[in-house]
A and B are shown apart, each in its own frame.
Chain A
Amino acid sequence: MFMKRSRRRLGRATAFSGGWSPPMRRLRTQLAVITTASTALLWLDNLSEHYRGGFERELMYVPILANPVVAAAGAVTAVTGGRRGGRLFGLLSAAQTAIAVVGFVEHQRGILKKPGGNQPRQLLFNAWYGPPVAAPLQYLGLGLMGVMATVPQSAAAPLLARIPVDRLMRAFTALNLPPLWAEIGYLHARGSFQNRAQWLPVVTLPLAGAMSALAATSDSRTARTAAQAASGWTALLGAAGTGFHLYGLHRRYGGYRRGSFLFNWLNGPPAPAPLQMIGLGLAGLAAERAVTRR
């Protein structure tokens, strides 16, 4: 609906929409929608984890407070099709990548600080029960997506002239998957793969990543199909994963009962976590679609 409206107002070019072709404008709006939704959902995950960690350090409040501001700017950008808030969203997204890097470093320090941190053999154990190794990198990915959704045409043109946007997105997907894969892998290992489905993302995400990476080097029809398959599968995994995690909450003692739910939510499989894969997959599919229409 708002797509139609934005097309009607093509005449009023802004810094956000100026110079972009209609499919690219649509793609940017879609990216803004996906980024905003993913950021908001990541907030829920982030809040649960940092609350569980008792906000032991003040730094842990930073992403919790910053995230809603970014998400709000993103929401404005998404709803207005980029006519409002685009520049702010872009700047906040850039800032968010900085928060992500600091978070990433702090998480590793938190793991190394635990008893036995100087013994390589204890690292995995400490990572299992320390701050999640790669979680802050999700903010990095979303920050970059926010930038992509808002960058002015003049700034993006030189890059896009050399690498078309669909291939750029394939590379972005390929870069996002390894940390996601590592995180899922070591946390599912903590659950000792008690449900065979826990192997699914661990086995298939590297394939999706490799397919995206290879597809990023080519404009061929096969490359496009491979990239679509990889992104589609990633989104599917996200949906299935959310389902499994919700089922996993039910299997814990007390399950969804009122007295037990919060505890299980905090300590059980993180229900909002797999949703990030849906966002990544949809972004990839949107990029492919934008180029098809060109």
Chain B
Amino acid sequence: MTTHDEVDAVVVGVGAAGAVLVRKLTDAGWRVVGLDAGPHWDPQTDFLSDERAMSKLFWRDRRVTGGEDPIELAGNVTGKGVGGSTVHYSMYALRLHRSDFQTHTRDGVGSDWPLSYDDLEPYYDEVEHELGIAGPVDWPWDAPRRHRYPYRPHQLNGVGEVMARGCDALGITWRPGAIATLSAPKGDRPPCVYRGWCLSGCTTNAKSSTLVTYAKEAVRAGAEIRPDCMVHRVDTDATGRAIGVTYVRRSADGTVHEEQQRARVVIVSAYSIETPRLLLMSASSGHPDGLANSSGLVGKGLMIHGSDVVFGRFPEPVSQFKAPPPNTITQDFYETNSAHDFVRGYSIETVGPLPGKFAQLAASTLGLWGESLREFMYDYSHYAGLGLVGETQAQDSNGVRLSRDETDTFGLPIPVVTFSYAENDRRILEAGTDTQRRILEAAGAQTTFRVSDTAHLMGACRMGDDPATSVVDRNCRTWDVPGLYVCDGSVFVTSGASNPSLTIQAIAARTADQLIAAGRRDQL
């Protein structure tokens, strides 16, 4: 087994959070190695305008999904390769609301975060600036922003106009969405040309995935990003301190061998399924239930967003495939409202599936196949879809555990993901889809149909102030294992009703600063 010399930090998973950490730590003079299970893509040569082929961006390793409401595990939640799911995410770059950090105090549900919005605000600003987020001039929801979005909003596309029209008719506030694709040049990245293939990988680099932003800059700054490395164990020494990771590396010729990377600090940024899986797989005699799991909460409290889509058919073509599918948003229903029969709330955003995905949704929801599906698809351009981001509450029964009998190609136990909606989650789904339908009808939809869907992962290694009820502290340091950090969406305490990527990145940017400061004090 090859053992690499000790570096200052090894980051497992170079995605939304990992790439931010690798770059920021490298900029601070650390020697950093980023390991990613997937390839290091070159968007200009590796990405095609082919929906099916581009599903290679998803994490498609074998997994089991279960519970009363099994979630979709491929495209909507995970990515494989440097950049992670930011390579194919829908680019909404939203902040959590202030209330999201205190749902227990305010609404009596969930738990309060150990961080407040004010702790994250400077990092939201920083990350938005680094990515070049294009957003509206004013953000009418939650408390006012300190700074404007660095780039101006994109124009409305067909679906955006439908949503704006419907919202205007119903008196609902809408804005062009805040999204991570450029509306004007930034450095060597060009503005978006509205190809509409964002969810299959952007070929122009206008999309601010961490692949073409943080990860690229990290490599330029001297970091090493090692692709095709599947980490399966966090190594600890006799004192219980994390000293590195062991992984299997797939070479260009297809051969696989095991390597070890030593590091002063190990940061796991593999998202809400693979992060708990790795901690659980790293169980040893000293940590029989998995690393950092004295609370028993590793893998528990997984949250998602109820993201049912309602499609409406319009007499005139809407061309839902044109321009970035994330386009227009309302957060009028985000906060707890005593008039509702639920607490917390939801956001409504436009979607724009490409024909393959749309056909798949229609086929599975409406039971169409063959001739009937083909008839239906002739009208593809006439449909506009609105998606929901419905908050869910963390439940310990939802989560990730290791399969007892099934293993993957590396012989590692596969993850079993269980999810069931709580009653409040379901009420949000019902109310949200009803609002989506009303907006479409107010805009002139002739018929509508609803598609069940889920998106995003949050939680499963939550942060907190008490080692008994959380896995990591407010700085993402695991309570149990010195030198081991968890920094990604799995540290979320509540899900909010905002797409999580920007918050993941803000937490990563903050964690990097905390690490740099701790390093100076020699308290890593």
Chain A residues within CB distance 8 Å of chain B: 115-116, 118, 121, 124-125, 128-129, 189-192, 194-195, 248, 251-254, 263, 267
Asked whether B153 lies within 8 Å of A125 as measured between CB atoms, the reply is yes
Given contacts A116-B164, A116-B174, contact A121 B138 (CB under 8 A): yes
Report which of A118, A129, A252 forms a contact with B155, defined as CB distance below 8 A. Answer: A129
Q: Chain B: which residue is nearest A264 at the CB level?
A: B193
Question: Which of B67-75, B179-187, B450-458 has 4 or more CB atoms under 8 Å from chain A?
Answer: B179-187
| Bound-state Cα–Cα, A34 to B156, Å | 38
Write the nearest CB–CB distance from A116 to chain B, whole angstroms.
6
B161-186 contacts to A (CB < 8 Å): 161, 164-165, 168, 174, 176, 183-186
Asked whether A124 lies within 8 Å of B155 as measured between CB atoms, the reply is no
B206 contacts A by Cβ under 8 Å: yes
Write the nearest CB–CB distance from A132 to chain B, whole angstroms.
13
Of all A-B residue pairs in the complex, the 10 with the closest CB atoms, nearest first, are A115-B164, A129-B155, A253-B190, A191-B184, A253-B204, A194-B184, A251-B185, A192-B151, A252-B190, A190-B152
Could you mark each residue 441-457 of chain B with 1 if its beta carbon is under 8 Å from any beta carbon of chain A, else 0? 00000000000000000
B136 contacts A by Cβ under 8 Å: yes
Please name all residues of chain B whose beta carbon is closer than 8 Å to the beta carbon of A129 when the two chains form the complex: 155-156
Write the nearest CB–CB distance from A119 to chain B, whole angstroms.
8
Write the nearest CB–CB distance from A133 to chain B, whole angstroms.
16
Asked whether A248 lies within 8 Å of B155 as measured between CB atoms, the reply is no
Asked whether B190 lies within 8 Å of A115 as measured between CB atoms, the reply is no
Write the nearest CB–CB distance from B243 to chain A, whole angstroms.
45
Asked whether B152 lies within 8 Å of A192 as measured between CB atoms, the reply is yes
| Residue of A116, A128, A267 contacting most chain B CB atoms (<10 Å) | A116
Please name all residues of chain B whose beta carbon is closer than 8 Å to the beta carbon of A192 when the two chains form the complex: 150-152, 183-184
Asked whether A252 lies within 8 Å of B191 as measured between CB atoms, the reply is yes
| Bound-state Cα–Cα, A19 to B123, Å | 72
Given contacts A115-B168, A121-B138, contact A128 B185 (CB under 8 A): no
Write the nearest CB–CB distance from A192 to chain B, whole angstroms.
5
Asked whether B193 lies within 8 Å of A252 as measured between CB atoms, the reply is yes
- The contact sample of 21 A-B pairs, CB cut-off 8 A, is A115-B164, A118-B168, A124-B137, A125-B136, A125-B137, A129-B156, A190-B152, A191-B152, A191-B183, A192-B150, A192-B151, A194-B151, A194-B184, A194-B185, A194-B186, A252-B185, A253-B191, A253-B193, A253-B204, A254-B193, A267-B193
Asked whether B156 lies within 8 Å of A128 as measured between CB atoms, the reply is no
| Bound-state Cα–Cα, A124 to B186, Å | 23
Please name all residues of chain B whose beta carbon is closer than 8 Å to the beta carbon of A267 when the two chains form the complex: 193
Q: Chain A: which residue is nearest B204 at the CB level?
A: A253
Asked whether A253 lies within 8 Å of B206 as measured between CB atoms, the reply is yes
Asked whether A248 lies within 8 Å of B185 as measured between CB atoms, the reply is yes
Please name all residues of chain B whose beta carbon is closer than 8 Å to the beta carbon of A194 when the two chains form the complex: 151, 184-186
Please name all residues of chain B whose beta carbon is closer than 8 Å to the beta carbon of A190 when the two chains form the complex: 152, 183-184
Could you mark each residue 437-480 of chain B with 1 if its beta carbon is under 8 Å from any beta carbon of chain A, else 0? 00000000000000000000000000000000000000000000
B254-310 contacts to A (CB < 8 Å): none
Write the nearest CB–CB distance from B479 to chain A, whole angstroms.
43
Asked whether B156 lies within 8 Å of A189 as measured between CB atoms, the reply is no
Q: Chain A: which residue is nearest B192 at the CB level?
A: A253
| Bound-state Cα–Cα, A128 to B193, Å | 16
Given contacts A115-B165, A191-B152, A192-B183, contact A251 B190 (CB under 8 A): yes
Please name all residues of chain A whose beta carbon is closer than 8 Å to the beta carbon of B164 when the two chains form the complex: 115-116
Other A-B pairs beyond A115-B165, A190-B184, A191-B183, 6, CB < 8 Å: A118-B168, A124-B137, A128-B152, A129-B155, A194-B185, A267-B193
